Structure 1
Amino acid sequence: MSWSVTPEESHPILGCAAVIDRALDEVAALDPMFMGVAAQREALLLLDRLTSRVTALQTRVIAASGEVAAAEGHRDVASWMTHRTRRDRAHHRRLQRLARDCDERWHDLGAALQTGAVNTDQGHVIARALGDLDRTMGDLAADARVAPPVTADRRAEVLALAQAHLLEQAAVFGPRELARLGARILHVIAPHLDEDAEGRRLADQDRHARRVTSLSTRDLGDGTTLVKARVPAHVATRLVTTLEAFTNPRGTAGDATGESVPYDLRLGQAFCSLLEGLDPSRLPLHGGTATQLVITIDLSDLLKGLGVGTLAGGETISAAQARRLACTADLVPAVLGTRSEPLDLGRTARLFSPAQRRALALRDQQCRADGCTIPATWCEAHHLVPWSREGASDLDNALLLCSFHHHRIHDDRYLHQRLPNGDVRYSRRR
């Protein structure tokens, strides 16, 4: 099929765009459902390649169109395009950055994008990796301790080798893999420089991590608090590894009632378990005493599992939650009678001793919820007859439950029953 270019389409790029536009009009009403599988397969791959080539052409036009933005008072082409096309600003920013990089520095990458040898997703990753490498080479060139010194010619040579290597790997790998390759590209093309760069990079990262580490909380008003943290990568890895130990990722992803528990929910529950399982005796003093929670609750509410308890800071929790915490947490209960007089300011005997915990671990081996395989070392000791009802803290009145199933046994939405072997089976109330 051939198209003639009208006078107003005098530039070949406009003519190309017009041809594509008219060709799309011709097939707009056709249903791909009636294509054969082989034709669909070929069309998907060809259209993907064409999309990348058209985008590559667009970046070239962006790189040359600064006057378009200036003529209408916009900061840059990306801002002008966002205003005119009503697309996402970040999309045009990324295209403008890629256009500038290919036009000014990475000419081989630009050529590969034009031919479709590299798609735009790969192009963004390669350009970013080359930019990072260029900055690293600049740091090495300025460091008098690097021997032999990094000259301007050596810097250009390394960048050219890196660009060629990443373009070659783009025939095999997608953006994610290319990003990993790009992060270690110096190790491949100049290993002796990589040792100096890696040491500098890690030291910079450590300083940056210490500088930006933060944690904030925000009460959402629905019984939950949003915890937002930014920590060093190795700390996050350690935390996730610990939480996955609590969640027992190799075991079933469902609970004892057969309900599926999403991975992020299990991690959140594991985080709660981790905090509740901290040994207060090993924590710094807080307000003159080892970190503890003091809760005030009416005795009748505690016995019935209804009503609310109040923490020292004014926050409220359910009576059922207070009963659960009383099993294992370092909780100082201030139980009030009918005239609000303190009846009990904590009984140390309510907590199972380390020796009792060891005995329970030997006896139960794991969580006693039917079907749960969380090991005993990650479980909590539960009073079969609640401590609030004078239940004794002895082995005959104890059962090991993981944090998730310990919550379940105090959740009034669920019924539970002891099986002949002593395990606990849960079912949702009708």
Structure 2
Amino acid sequence: MVEELTQAEDAIAACADAATWSSPEGELIAALDTAHRIEQRLAAVQLALIRELDGRGTATTQGASSTAVWLRERLRLTIPAARRLVDLAAVLDTGNPGVRNALADGRITVDQARIIADTVDAVQTSASPEAADKAVGVLVEWAGQFDPTLLRRLSTRILDHVAPDIADAAAKAALDAEARRATRDRHLTLSTLTDGRLRLTGILDSETAGLLRAAIDPLNAPSGPDDQRTPGQRRHDALGDVCRLALRTGELPEHGGDCAQVVVTTDYDGLTRQLGGSTLDTGLHLTPEAVRRLACDAGILPAVLSGAGQPLDLGRQRRLVTGPLRRALVLRDRGCAFPGCDRPPRWCDAHVRREALIDRVEVRDHHRRPVAAGR
């Protein structure tokens, strides 16, 4: 097998170096179809190898806690991706030869194979083996016409075609199985980058995905014709808005003995004169502009430190914008003070500006610049 795969690798390497610009369009399309088919057939080979290595316990022999962990290190995959390969390899090996053969023939993709295998498993729990075999044939045929998303939607009613007498009960079983898979695969990963930013990755189950969309979609629309933010930037800002709204409710559980909050440490000169950045309690740094904006609508706890950083005195917490002042701002501005912005008051921060030695306070969305005109 290694020799044959090496020969195939050499042939593919030769194709990778070929000059595609000189080939006619029809030949390019045929080559694309062939490359796609080979990719699926190689996936079938890979799954067969994974299943055999998993069955032999190779991972534990080589010091890994599981085959998924071993694949992560060996193939540089994520744990969820490695686990999906192990699970699919087991499913195709134990009870779905029709699906395995379709993948090996290049008639379906790996994603389609996973959907078909999951569907056939659900069918086998509620119908006869003959119905399961018939379901494989129907789904493989559909796979030649529909992408994985549409195929999964169609698969929920497969028994309407292969066993209509038990379709309703089986549909409920399939939905339950889908819910169990969603619960098993759900995860959220927060990775801190070297420059202090955060990478957010994960998979949400259907209910949580619906909650997230319901929360950020109303905040995701462009604010006007001059909004230059990309859709991804708008979603980012909407998620930040949702977090701010949640913090303002005061109903989040305590964390470290205090209510949920963002803690910023700065010095007096840096805050008033905007000379230097400040530090979050997570160790990340903020610009002077960001710190001053946060301080406008935050509680401030003054502290006196010695030259060695020893706390000498802690004052009482106070706010630049008090509760009565904010209520007065809401009555006056009735929303964001930026022209054309229709965000309601509770979505906005109170912003203190100093112009010509006169303090001016206004309510505005933190994504907007302050208004230029005086009030």
CA contact (8 A) 1:253 1:261 kept: no
1:383 and 1:222, CA in 2 relative to 1: closer, same or farther beyond 3 A? same
Q: Give 2:217's aligned amino acid.
A: E
> Which residue identity lines up with residue 318 of structure 2 in the other structure?
G
1:381 is matched with: 350
SS of equivalent residue, structure 2 residue 144: coil
Residues in 1 aligned to 2:342 and 2:286: alpha-carbon distance in whole angstroms: 27
Of residues 275, 283, 287, the one that matches 1:306 is 275
Match of 2:120 among 130, 147, 150: 130
2:367 counterpart (392, 395, 404): 404
Distance 2:278 2:9 in 1: 68
Distance 1:230 1:54 in 2: 27
Alpha-carbon spacing, 1:219–1:333, altered in 2? closer, same or farther (3 Å): farther
- RMSD of aligned alpha carbons: 5.8
Identity %: 22
- Pairing partner for 1:156 from 99, 104, 129: 129
| Matched residue, 1:193 | 169
Return the match for 1:42 from 21, 30, 33. 30
Matched, 1:175 2:148: yes
Q: Aligned-pair distance for 1:234?
A: 2.1
CA separation in 2, counterparts of 1:288 and 1:100?
Answer: 47
1:304 Cα deviation (Å)?
0.7
Pair 187,347 (structure 1): closer, same or farther in 2 beyond 3 Å: same
Pairwise CA distance, 1:360: 0.8
Distance, in Å, in 2 between the alignment partners of 1:213 and 1:342 is 44
Specify the alignment match of 1:394 in structure 2. Answer: none
User: Measured at CA, do residues 49 and 269 of structure 1 come closer, stay the same or move farther in structure 2, by a change above 3 Å?
Assistant: closer
Q: Does 1 or 2 have the higher relative contact order (CA < 8 Å, sep 6+)? A: 1
How many angstroms apart in 2 are the aligned matches of 1:26 and 1:216?
39
1:385 partner SS: strand
User: Matches of 1:214 and 1:23 in 2, distance apart?
Assistant: 40
Task: Find the residue that maps to 2:318 and give its secondary structure.
Answer: coil
Which residues in structure 2 correspond to 1:63-212 (within 5 Å)?
Answer: 105-113=95-103, 116-131=106-121, 133-134=123-124, 137=125, 154-182=127-155, 185=158, 189=163, 190-194=166-170, 196-197=172-173, 200-201=176-177
1:147 maps to what in 2?
none
Paired with 2:52 and 2:198, the residues of 1 have a C-alpha distance of: 48
The answer to whether 1:353 aligns with 2:326 is yes
Deviates more, 1:278-287 or 1:36-45: 278-287
Distance (Å, rounded) in 2 between the aligned partners of 1:198 and 1:113: 23
Matches of 1:94 and 1:240, distance apart in 2: 26
Residue 241 (structure 2) aligns with? 273
Matching residue's letter, 1:379:
C
Please tell me whether the aligned partners of residues 122 and 170 of structure 1 are also in contact (alpha carbons under 8 angstroms).
yes
Q: Distance in 2 between matches of 1:169 and 1:273?
A: 43
Equivalent residue for 1:234, pick from 207, 211, 214: 207
Which has the larger displacement, 290-299 or 120-129?
A: 290-299
What's the CA shift for 1:17? 8.9
Alpha-carbon distance in 1 for matches of 2:93, 2:170: 28
After TM superposition, the score normalised by the length of structure 1 is 0.57
Q: Measure how far apart 1:375 and its partner are.
A: 2.5
Find the aligned partners of 1:24 and 1:294 in 2 and give their Cα distance: 55
Question: Structure 1's 124 and 217: CA in aligned 2 closer, same or farther, altered over 3 A?
Answer: closer
Specify the code of the residue in structure 1 equivalent to 2:349. E
Q: 1:42 to 1:280 in 2, by over 3 A?
A: closer
Q: Secondary structure at the match of 2:117?
A: helix
Instruction: Write out per-residue CA displacement over residues 94-145 of structure 1, whole angstroms, 9 at most, x where no aligned residue.
Output: 88876775565334334544554434553344234323554xx1xxxxxxxx
Determine which of 308, 317, 338 is the counterpart of 1:368. 338
Number of corresponding residues: 351
Tell me, in whole angstroms, the C-alpha distance in 2 between the residues paired with 1:216 and 1:20: 37
Q: Distance in 2 between matches of 1:26 and 1:280?
A: 62
Q: Structure 2 unaligned runs (5+)?
A: none
Q: Deviations over 1:192-228 (max 9, x none)?
A: 213642675588579x58xx99889787785556778
Indicate the SS of the match to 1:177: helix
Structure 1 113/354 Cα, relative in aligned 2: closer, same or farther at 3 Å?
Answer: same
Matched with 1:7 is none
| Partner SS, residue 242 of structure 1 | helix
Contact 1:186 / 1:194 at 8 angstroms: preserved in 2?
yes
> What TM-score, normalized to structure 2?
0.63
What residue number does 1:412 align with? none
CA contact (8 A) 2:119 2:156 kept: yes
Cα distance in 2 for residues equivalent to 1:218 and 1:343: 36
User: In the alignment, is the contact (CA less than 8 A) between 2:296 and 2:320 conserved in 1?
Assistant: no
